Amino acid sequence: MGTVTGSKFLVESDHARILVDCGLFQGLADLRRRNWRGLPCDAGDIEAVAITHAHLDHCGYLPRLVRHGFRGRVVTTEFSARLMEIVLRDSAKLQMEAAQHANDHGWSKHRPAQPLYDYSDVDRTLKLLDPVPTGTETALATGIRLTLHPAGHILGSAWACLTLEDGHTLAVSGDLGRPGHTPSCSRRNPSPARTYCSWSLRTATGSTSRRRAGPGSPAC
């Protein structure tokens, strides 16, 4: 990957594909161009998305995913869902303004330049949001259950615990805040439990890694 922006992890089990986070690449042009690349699978084959928090580099690719055929649930916390409406509408506005500026001044090689997504894509995305309480297990996809735990990063932020039907678990941190907390953020809630798990993960670039987490790794 070579960067911490554009968080987007494809988790595959025997029965389902899900994404944990669905962020935009931000920063230099070489990074932003990655937003136009395809994912390692069809958007319509993804059953659900879990979002850890509402920063653009963790949720900003969702309208693009919907434009390409994703129609599943987007599971996150209530406060993240509320923040995402603001963040995604603002992002769409910037995408549309950039495309218009490129067309007005001729600096894009595309004729005409198109936005990555627009307001209509955001509207469809918001209809898929399914807020869930932290600390409560919910069915995310076939054979995969999700529990969101407070991460103390921003309002509504969480780390995700995925439990597979065979009992294996996978923890995805998102961004973690400090061990302390402010009045607007819940205290970060790590668990002292540890478990072994084997899982397959693919990044937005399509690279695949199979990892085994054990003692010392975050677990649910």
Instruction: Indicate whether 210 pLDDT > 70.
Output: no
Secondary structure (3-state) at 118: coil
182 vs 54: which has the higher pLDDT: 54
Confidence of residue 2 (pLDDT cuts 50, 70, 90): low
Cα(11)–Cα(16) distance, rounded to whole angstroms? Answer: 8
Confidence of residue 194 (pLDDT cuts 50, 70, 90): very low
Could you tell me the pTM of the whole model?
A: 0.83
Cα(39)–Cα(134) distance, rounded to whole angstroms? Answer: 29
Instruction: Indicate whether 24 pLDDT > 90.
Output: yes
Cα(31)–Cα(144) distance, rounded to whole angstroms? Answer: 32
Cα(60)–Cα(122) distance, rounded to whole angstroms? Answer: 10
Q: What is the pLDDT of residue 76?
A: 98
Find, among 47, 122, 129, the residue nearest to 82 by Cα: 129
Using a 10 angstrom Cβ sphere, with 0-12 exposed, 13-18 middle and 19 or more buried, the burial of residue 123 is: middle
Report, as an integer, the average pLDDT of 127-136.
97
